[in-house]
Structure 1
Amino acid sequence: MAKMIIHGGTRLSGSVTIGGAKNSTVAIIPAAILADTPVTLDSVPQIKDVYNLMDMLQDMNVPSQFHDDVLQIDPTNIQSVPLPHGKVTSLRASYYFMGSLLGRFGKAVVGFPGGDDIGPRPIDQHIKGFKALGAEVHQDGSSITIEAPNGLHGARIFLDMISVGATINIILAAVRAQGTTIIENVAREPEIIDLATFLNNMGAQIRGVGTQTIRINGVPSLRAQNAHTIIPDRIEAGTYLALAAATGDGILVKNIIAEHLDAFLAKLQEMGVNLDVREDSIFVYPNNQLVGVKVKTSPYPGFATDLQQPLTPLMLLAQGQSTIIDTIYPKRTRHIPELIKMGANIKVVDGQILVDHTDQLTGAHVTAGEIRGGVSLMLAGLMAQGTTEIEQAENIMRGYDCIITKLQNLKADVSYVGPEVF
């Protein structure tokens, strides 16, 4: 197990550049196996999930090379093999191989996905979509076999609930199916638009992304022409904006698409955070007087569930009470007992997180149970007096590009101890 050690209480300053979006990257890498040519991606974040996906590609005889932020993938000699166990359980996004293998070969054998323990995340809407496209689905112990013996065909699919994962998986399966697929009540996240842009640039015919209805005309082949640039990570951006507001003496956050953060920026400004929103960056001024706010997570363009935990430490500085209601993952509260160890005045009551003003946080030994909860503890450690040691810090590395280097460039006293991150 790895450990992050933070000597907190120091005001930070400087600039930080946001990397490519994790949630785009972990969908586009599985999507790359749908291509009949090599694929090049740039602005790929240096995160553990990328290397885990590269290992899975290797199992399918798909070589890949990752240098700086450029990832090259060659699926021209891909082999259809089961992915039942092992690496699949290391991250949630492995389930996108269900859709891409089904779309490429008409068959996929994939283990139940792993990832962060933040409450139930069923895949019933994924399965509903695959069946509508003509697939048969069988569960065998800890793996799922999805097969379309007569090929995939277009269909009209209405998702019972808005699901990012199901929306992406159905797109991946339908993009090379025969006929037209219409998916209704879909997720609208920027990462889905990024995926569709990647596929369309290879010859796919996907329309309506960003709206509630997506229309896909299946094509027989996909061929990459140019490198695809991953969009900036809005969750990483929100994390550094919260950090800047909590501990900064003036920090410039670069490579941002502000429109992707509208709901989050509105809450920062409601709290009293002084922001200068520029064309592709945001400058965060030092802040003194902050006020409590109410946050309710919801599907995009609402307040992202992945940003409620990074915002929580900043709420501790506000006068009055702040409230968080996570409608997406109500059980996303494992960071609360850890923050209490540091002196946070915070509790969970009737499914709501109640955050009251805390005069001082103190360094402590805490555990990062998952990515966003872990980064919440990291922000608290930077705010706290004394030393904070975060166990299982490898979880933070799964979602944040070059985080130790970026924090050190902001003059944070932070180090990482343990096995190699990647």
Structure 2
Amino acid sequence: MDSILVKGGQTLSGQIPISGAKNACLTLMPAALLTSEPLTLTNAPRLSDIRTMASLLESLGCEVASLQHRRVLAISAGADLNHIADYEIVRRMRASNLVLGPLLAREGRAVVSLPGGCAIGARPMDLHLMGLEALGAKLELKDGYVHGTANGGLKGGTVDFPIVSVGATENVLMAATLAKGTTVINNAAREPEIVDLARCLRAMGAQIEGEGTSTITVQGVESLHGATYQVVSDRIELGTYMLAPAIAGGSVELLGGRRELVASFADKLEQTGVTVEDTDAGLRVTRNGERLRAVDVRTEPFPGFPTDLQAQMMALLTLAEGTSALEETIFENRFMHAPELLRMGAKIDVHGGTAKVEGVERLTGAPVMATDLRASVSLILAGLAAEGETTVARVYHLDRGYERLEEKLGGCGARIERIKG
């Protein structure tokens, strides 16, 4: 099993290109199920999760072609689709449940395994099911699968989500494009990935209004057509690499980065004493060598502070002067990186959904183990600033969400390498 070796103490300088968004691409790919014409996605990231989704779509009868070094995905869901999404593929990634809405909308039936993914807490599908039932789907949980039918097709309706759910919003939004009549989604997620999905669906002929707000209105159409669409930049990768010069020192330009994608995160980063500037090509992050300042962080749905940047921010705050509080409100069990940071000399006290981080003068390299995708990169960030060597084990998690990380950081002066296991 591969590991990552980081030799700390090197300031960073240079440029890092930001890849297409993993979470956006994983949502756009199932949208191809809504039409028999090809959907072509450009700026696709080259990640294991993308390959998993491609395998799932192929198992459903789609043809998936990777072009231009896998930067372009051409997906064609022909007339003969399979409606069963098998456990052996779905269990590898929670985003696999996003085939449920499109299959019900186009085929009128679907059997989809309950999903898997990182071990950061329960990922219930109750909101997905509630939303699809509001559109007339009949759904039943049996033997670890969701069995759904929509005899006569889905019908427009009003969906009132009790809490914000990105995945449920995406599933219902896709299903509603082919439902008869008008669908109103209240308390909808506002993330950039939702906006990206709506724009792609609109390019395919859907009639959608209100994406990016808490109310989305969809007028169902008879059919959708193919399209070519560019995947938005990955805001979580952007935020992660913004933290690299912040924790290690130096100045790095993030090519393709836009502040509006990470505004709340950028605000918090600036409060620690780091400089964030717009450039013609993206964003530049600079730390001038002064000690960081402690800040409090509370994860929230977009436009709040992203849960997917909480672990990385914790790594930064281990070196900040004073005591920081990080409150995790999205997922339980998302402080599993804390014990590994303790091995590096951090002072962290976790109680329920809150972690108190007392900043230390320095971290020390140590062997640590990744527990999930974002935890893995938080340990690598900590290793950039630590004295000595840090070895991060179980980095297969990392490969689900970060493309060419060693190359991107290494190009800015980081001493980092992959050790083949």
Equivalent residue for 2:66? 66
2:84 is aligned with what amino acid? P
| Distance in 1, Cα, partners of 2:255 & 2:80 | 38
Deviation at 1:138, TM superposition (A): 1.2
User: 3-state SS of the aligned residue for 2:62?
Assistant: coil
Q: Which of 162, 170, 173 is the aligned partner of 1:171?
A: 173
Deviation at 1:34, TM superposition (A): 1.0
C-alpha contact (below 8 Å) 1:238/1:307 kept by paired residues: yes
The one-character-per-residue Cα deviations of 1:108-148 (angstroms, maximum 9, x if unpaired) are 11111011111122111111111111111111211111111
1:218 is aligned with what amino acid? G
Equivalent residue for 1:51? 51
Q: TM-score, normalised by structure 1?
A: 0.96
| Distance in 1, Cα, partners of 2:46 & 2:193 | 17
C-alpha contact (below 8 Å) 1:360/1:384 kept by paired residues: yes
- Which region of structure 1 is more displaced relative to structure 2, 410-419 or 370-379? 410-419
| Distance in 1, Cα, partners of 2:75 & 2:409 | 30
Equivalent residue for 1:409? 411
After TM superposition, the structure 1 = structure 2 runs for residues 222-237 of structure 1, keeping only pairs within 5 Å, are 222-225=224-227, 227-237=228-238
| Distance in 2, Cα, partners of 1:219 & 1:391 | 49
| Distance in 2, Cα, partners of 1:347 & 1:35 | 51
Q: Which of 119, 122, 125 is the aligned partner of 2:121?
A: 119
Equivalent residue for 1:245? 246
C-alpha contact (below 8 Å) 1:202/1:223 kept by paired residues: yes
2:210 is aligned with what amino acid? G
| Distance in 2, Cα, partners of 1:414 & 1:396 | 14
| Distance in 1, Cα, partners of 2:260 & 2:334 | 25
The one-character-per-residue Cα deviations of 1:367-401 (angstroms, maximum 9, x if unpaired) are 11111111111101121122222111010110112
User: Structure 1 pair 60/330, CA: closer, same or farther in 2 (3 Å)?
Assistant: closer
C-alpha contact (below 8 Å) 2:105/2:153 kept by paired residues: no
Q: Which of 191, 206, 209 is the aligned partner of 2:208?
A: 206
The one-character-per-residue Cα deviations of 1:162-181 (angstroms, maximum 9, x if unpaired) are 11011001011111111111
The one-character-per-residue Cα deviations of 1:185-237 (angstroms, maximum 9, x if unpaired) are 11100100000000000100011111111111111211124x21111111110
Equivalent residue for 1:19? 19
Structure 1 unpaired stretches of 5+: none
Q: Does 1:144 align with 2:143?
A: no
| Distance in 2, Cα, partners of 1:297 & 1:244 | 22
C-alpha contact (below 8 Å) 1:134/1:150 kept by paired residues: no
After TM superposition, the structure 1 = structure 2 runs for residues 323-338 of structure 1, keeping only pairs within 5 Å, are 323-338=325-340
| Distance in 2, Cα, partners of 1:22 & 1:78 | 28
- Which region of structure 1 is more displaced relative to structure 2, 7-16 or 367-376? 7-16
Deviation at 1:78, TM superposition (A): 4.4
C-alpha contact (below 8 Å) 2:42/2:229 kept by paired residues: yes
| Distance in 1, Cα, partners of 2:314 & 2:98 | 30
Deviation at 1:279, TM superposition (A): 4.8
C-alpha contact (below 8 Å) 1:62/1:77 kept by paired residues: no
| Distance in 2, Cα, partners of 1:417 & 1:143 | 38
Q: Does 1:75 align with 2:92?
A: no
Structure 2 unpaired stretches of 5+: none
**Could you list the runs of 4 or more consecutive aligned residues of structure 1 that deviate by over 3 angstroms after TM superposition?**
none
2:9 is aligned with what amino acid? G
| Distance in 2, Cα, partners of 1:289 & 1:299 | 30
Equivalent residue for 2:276? 275
| Distance in 2, Cα, partners of 1:78 & 1:249 | 55
RMSD: 1.4
User: 3-state SS of the aligned residue for 1:401?
Assistant: coil
Deviation at 1:23, TM superposition (A): 1.1
Q: TM-score, normalised by structure 2?
A: 0.96
2:43 is aligned with what amino acid? S
Q: Does 1:93 align with 2:82?
A: no
User: 3-state SS of the aligned residue for 1:90?
Assistant: coil
Equivalent residue for 1:255? 256
Equivalent residue for 1:218? 220
Deviation at 1:350, TM superposition (A): 4.5
| Distance in 2, Cα, partners of 1:377 & 1:135 | 44
Equivalent residue for 1:2? 2
Equivalent residue for 1:393? 395
Deviation at 1:402, TM superposition (A): 2.0
C-alpha contact (below 8 Å) 2:61/2:78 kept by paired residues: no
Percentage identity across aligned positions? 39
Equivalent residue for 2:265? 264
1:416 is aligned with what amino acid? R
**Count, aligned residues:** 418
1:6 is aligned with what amino acid? V
C-alpha contact (below 8 Å) 2:59/2:82 kept by paired residues: no
C-alpha contact (below 8 Å) 1:168/1:192 kept by paired residues: yes
User: Structure 1 pair 190/279, CA: closer, same or farther in 2 (3 Å)?
Assistant: farther
| Distance in 1, Cα, partners of 2:91 & 2:420 | 22
Deviation at 1:278, TM superposition (A): 2.8
The one-character-per-residue Cα deviations of 1:303-323 (angstroms, maximum 9, x if unpaired) are 111111111111122111111
